[in-house]
Amino acid sequence: MKRLLVVIIVATLAYCGWWFHAAQDLRSDVEDWFAGQSAKGWTATYTDLTMRGFPSRTDLTITNPDITGPEGGFAWRAPFLQILALSYKPAHVILVWPDTQTLVMPDGEMAVSSDGLRASVVFEDQKILRSNAEAPVLNIAGPDVSVAVADANFALEKFATTDATYRIAVSAGRIATSLPTAASGIGSDAPASLRAQMDIEFDRPLRLDTRSDSPPRPTRVNLKRSAITYGDVTFRVSLAASIDPQGVLTGDMSISAENWRNGIDAARENGDLPAAAADGLIDLLAMLSTFNGTRDSLDVTLGINDGTLLLGPVPVGRIPPLRWP
């Protein structure tokens, strides 16, 4: 009996020591990440780190995180951010965001409100293997436009093609836009939805830690399937292109839609698309639709050469360079 008691005591002490070691590792990783941003010209602060969850979890709460880029063009701050994990699965963490947070981009400050915004990340040797994120409700109010999204989902998984290729799926059950003065929120009659799946190749693997001054850069994109629905109109887009260091695309893109004029007219009447943008889009799509002989249907493949859209040899538009943090 004494031997059994000794074994139990030793095992308990060993587990306690192991938990505190795992908790300290997580805490140190977060402290090192915040401290390391200053070497890159960033400002990253917090007011407190709180560890809870003993004995089966390592749950870390970062209070008042505030991250600002070197030029001040990007910033993020929130009341808290939680990093949750089972103590016996430290390489699988769950991130939980508060209901309100603030994001600053070059175009201005955006207020982000959400319900149930969280993500999970599985990694190995700091390399991200897969990740999922979801938000039943996500509202973003910016200086020029507000966007409300319901049933938003994001999934990323490392793909075996190369060491830095990932399959990404994005979906949003309902999307609505409005002017900043309009009431935010989403109703059952929200006009738009989105589904897309793509493979993206980066110049190096995605990691949780930071080993350089710049994040991994996308070099190729293959948008296999996408459907953007507005009312009863669905636009389908596919894309296969390379991406140069400046974010300029070269490749091919296919676009198809039925009754697309009705969708654009409805978006203009509802205020979801500015009149000038709607007129320009109608002119472009009308020209493209003439090549398949139907006024209201569209099924065309375009070339992309250094960001310029080509219908055969004729330039018809331009894709702006992709921005990457």
Average pLDDT, the chain: 82
Q: How many CB atoms are closer than 10 A to CB 9?
A: 10
Q: What is the pLDDT of residues 97-150, one digit of tens each?
A: 999 999 988 778 899 999 999 999 999 888 999 999 999 999 998 887 788 899
Predicted confidence at residue 16, as pLDDT, reads 55
Predicted confidence at residue 184, as pLDDT, reads 42
Q: Label residue 183 by pLDDT band (50, 70, 90).
A: very low
Q: How many CB atoms are closer than 10 A to CB 269?
A: 11
34-38, 172-176, 198-202: least confidently modelled range: 34-38
C-alpha span between 262 and 324 (Å, rounded): 34
In this structure, is residue 266 part of a structural domain? Answer: no
C-alpha span between 153 and 250 (Å, rounded): 28
In this structure, is residue 252 part of a structural domain? Answer: no
Predicted confidence at residue 325, as pLDDT, reads 60
Q: What is the pLDDT of residues 138-155, one digit of tens each?
A: 999 888 778 889 999 999
What domain range is 27 assigned to?
Answer: 1-96
Count of domains observed in the chain: 1
Report the alpha-carbon angle 22-27-28, nearest 5: 95
Predicted confidence at residue 33, as pLDDT, reads 83
Q: Does residue 204 have a pLDDT over 80?
A: yes
In this structure, is residue 109 part of a structural domain? Answer: no
Predicted confidence at residue 186, as pLDDT, reads 47
C-alpha span between 294 and 311 (Å, rounded): 17
In this structure, is residue 72 part of a structural domain? Answer: yes
**Residues 33 and 45: beta-carbon distance below 8 Å:** no
In this structure, is residue 1 part of a structural domain? Answer: yes
In this structure, is residue 18 part of a structural domain? Answer: yes
> Positive or negative, the Cα torsion across 225, 230, 232, 235?
negative
Predicted confidence at residue 17, as pLDDT, reads 58
Q: What is the pLDDT of residues 48-67, one digit of tens each?
A: 999 887 777 889 999 999 99
C-alpha span between 100 and 135 (Å, rounded): 13
Q: Does residue 166 have a pLDDT over 80?
A: yes
Predicted confidence at residue 7, as pLDDT, reads 46
In this structure, is residue 274 part of a structural domain? Answer: no
Q: Label residue 185 by pLDDT band (50, 70, 90).
A: very low
Q: What is the pTM of this model?
A: 0.82
Q: What is the pLDDT of residues 1-43, one digit of tens each?
A: 555 554 455 445 455 555 676 677 788 888 888 888 877 788 8
In this structure, is residue 246 part of a structural domain? Answer: no
